[in-house]
Amino acid sequence: MDTPQPIDTTHFLQQQLDAIVALLEKQEEEKSHFRTSASERHNPDVSIVVDEYQARLQNLLSDLHPADLAFLLESLPLDQRQTVWDAIKSELDGQVLLEVSDSVRQTLISGMEVEELASAASSLDTDEIADLAADLPKRAMLKILRSLNNVERTHLNTILSYQEHQVGALMDFGMITVRDDLNLWAITDYIRRLGKLPSHTDKLFVVDQNNVVKGVLPLQRLLTHAPSQNVAEVMVTDFVQFQVDEDTAHAARAFERYDLISAPVVDNLGQLQGRLCVDSIIDFIREKTDEDMLIQAGVEEDEDLFSSVWRSARNRSVWLLVNVATAFASTRIIDVFQDTILQLVALASLMPIVAAMGGNTGNQTSILIIRSLALGQITSANVRRLIKKELTLALLNGTLIGILVGALSWALYYDLALSFVIGAAMLINLMVAVGVGLCIPLVRYKLGKDPAVGASIMLTAITDSMGFFIVLILARTFLIGK
């Protein structure tokens, strides 16, 4: 099925969104105007208004690509979203469900009947159905499975047998395989008779009689070499392939490093199982980036922008409660040193500076480490040198910033001893912050946990508490009673 071409214009989509919102609001106004009886469903004027505006809405949506429709749905409140969803052509339902975020997809699916879901899936390939499987009701999945032929059902079950982070879960089966003893003319004739190539086909996969991948035949070589040559003479034998149980993050890095468009996916025997394409990798990278960003912000899962207040509160509350606990821990440190602060009030204005700088420095280190772990750049062979480099950098920055803060403190309070204490506290806290910024993600990674989860919140809590403690203990030691 041909779908409308995507419109790569944010301004245009914003105009469409504004037009749709204005249309829906106008419809609601007119419905309210005609709503004179106890039940609007018995008022024919209301039905006329609804039909008229529904037709105008369908006209606005008719030429949009599924990805653009997904953008519009994600940008609308729940009631308006459902109205727009009902106006979208039913043959596009499956593609739109693939494009929207997980949270929005769940709201759309919850309002659909089993028959509607099965119809939406009928236009999708098996790998696309697998992407929706986790959100579909069991009855809908059973109906979809019954509608597939044996080959499609096998493909779908194969994809669903792999874990979410494995390459096998992202592979598709739209590939062309050839034997190495055929000549290029026969291959070209075969492709011509196919009439249409699978999307993202930049190479053919060369297999033997046991379906073991022996090489790949790029289309460029197929078209530029003599038709009389055999595949074995022009195929590429030094190629990138992936195991079905390989981590998708590793595959994503390989796609980026080698500028891949597609690559074969094989089992432990080297037999071809499917292919991995760049569109799946792009989706994976985008979802992983969004997930990491939410995790670092202390949000448990992908959240619908217009979900209910209670659901949003539940989604965000866990790490907020952790923040409350760590904030109280910091205040307890201040309580212990109340006498010190009362004797030297200037500490109250200088302590937050030391704590804030520690948090910022630690977050810089933590984010760098999390990114490097994700890219596979940190290994047991270089981790010691990395730690040494980061601590040396902390010593340098801490010394420079400590001198600067100490000088500014002296300019404000004309107290040399106070300036020394604040400068020294800044140096020590920056060293502590970098150490914590290194340890949290590295230790979590070593334990097999996501290094990004809660890293920012835990780090800020530690650096705040340590910042207050270091300033106050140094002040009590060197300033009080001098």
pLDDT, tens only, 155-185: 999 999 999 999 999 999 999 999 999 999 9
CA distance 71 to 75: 6
Is residue 418 a part of any domain in this protein?
A: yes
- Give the pTM: 0.79
Q: How far is CA 459 from the centre of its chain?
A: 22
CA distance 481 to 85: 73
Answer whether residue 46 shows pLDDT above 70: no
Per-residue pLDDT reduced to its tens digit, 116-147: 999 999 999 999 999 999 999 999 999 999 99
Q: Which residue range(s) make up the domain with 209?
A: 177-296
Is residue 258 a part of any domain in this protein?
A: yes
Environment class of 430 (CB within 10 Å of its CB; exposed 0-12, middle 13-18, buried 19+): buried
pLDDT of res. 38:
46
More confident residue, 453 or 407: 407
Closest CA to 92 of 76, 113, 70: 70
> Cβ atoms within 10 A of the Cβ of 342, count?
10
Q: What is the CATH number of the domain that holds 449?
A: 1.10.357.20
CA distance 351 to 145: 63
- 460, containing H or E segment: helix 455-478
Is residue 373 a part of any domain in this protein?
A: yes
Please state whether 259 falls in left (phi above 0), alpha (psi between -120 and 50) or beta.
left
Answer whether residue 309 shows pLDDT above 90: no
More confident residue, 29 or 403: 403
Q: Are 19 and 60 in the same domain?
A: yes
Query: pLDDT band for position 34 (50/70/90)?
Result: low
Per-residue pLDDT reduced to its tens digit, 360-414: 999 999 999 998 988 888 988 899 999 999 999 999 999 999 999 999 999 999 9
Per-residue pLDDT reduced to its tens digit, 347-362: 989 999 999 999 999 9
pLDDT of res. 320:
77
Total count of domains within the chain: 3
Q: What is the CATH number of the domain that holds 72?
A: 1.25.60.10
Q: Are 285 and 320 in the same domain?
A: no
What angle (nearest 5°) sits at the alpha carbon of residue 191, between those of residues 277 and 272? 45
Mean local confidence (pLDDT), 7-22: 81
pLDDT of res. 454:
74
Query: pLDDT band for position 75 (50/70/90)?
Result: very high
Beta-bridge mates of residue 172: 275
CA distance 339 to 424: 21
Q: What is the CATH number of the domain that holds 235?
A: 3.10.580.10
pLDDT of res. 100:
94
Q: Are 88 and 34 in the same domain?
A: yes
- Of 122, 140, 167, the position where a domain reaches its end is 167
Is residue 172 a part of any domain in this protein?
A: no
State the residue for tokens 């910024």. 437
Is residue 3 a part of any domain in this protein?
A: no
Q: Are 353 and 268 in the same domain?
A: no
Q: Are 227 and 94 in the same domain?
A: no
- Of 247, 274, 296, the position where a domain reaches its end is 296
Phi, psi torsion values for 337, nearest 5 degrees: -105, 25
- Of 296, 318, 340, the position where a domain reaches its end is 296
Q: Are 254 and 350 in the same domain?
A: no
CA distance 301 to 70: 19
Beta-bridge mates of residue 262: 277
Is residue 451 a part of any domain in this protein?
A: yes
Is residue 302 a part of any domain in this protein?
A: no
Q: Are 258 and 280 in the same domain?
A: yes
pLDDT cut 70: percent of the chain above it? 92
Answer whether residue 26 shows pLDDT above 60: yes
pLDDT of res. 321:
82
Closest CA to 457 of 335, 362, 389, 339: 362
Is residue 301 a part of any domain in this protein?
A: no
More confident residue, 64 or 331: 64
Q: Are 95 and 163 in the same domain?
A: yes
CA distance 208 to 230: 14
Residue 344 DSSP symbol: -
The answer to which of 3-12, 63-72, 238-247, 423-432 has the lowest mean pLDDT is: 3-12
Q: Are 160 and 15 in the same domain?
A: yes
Phi, psi torsion values for 206, nearest 5 degrees: -95, 120
Q: Are 94 and 243 in the same domain?
A: no
Mean local confidence (pLDDT), 89-108: 93
Mean local confidence (pLDDT), 215-233: 96
Q: Are 160 and 184 in the same domain?
A: no
Altogether, the residues listed in the chain come to a count of 482
pLDDT of res. 222:
96
What angle (nearest 5°) sits at the alpha carbon of residue 455, between those of residues 449 and 459? 140
Burial 166-180 (b: 16+ CB within 10 A, else e): bbbbbbbbbbbebeb
Q: Are 325 and 360 in the same domain?
A: yes
The residues, ordered by sequence, that sit 6+ positions from 302 with a Cβ below 8 Å of its Cβ are 101, 102, 103, 290, 291, 294
Cα distances from 296 to residues 249, 252, 363, 366, 454, in angstroms, run 19, 21, 10, 11, 6
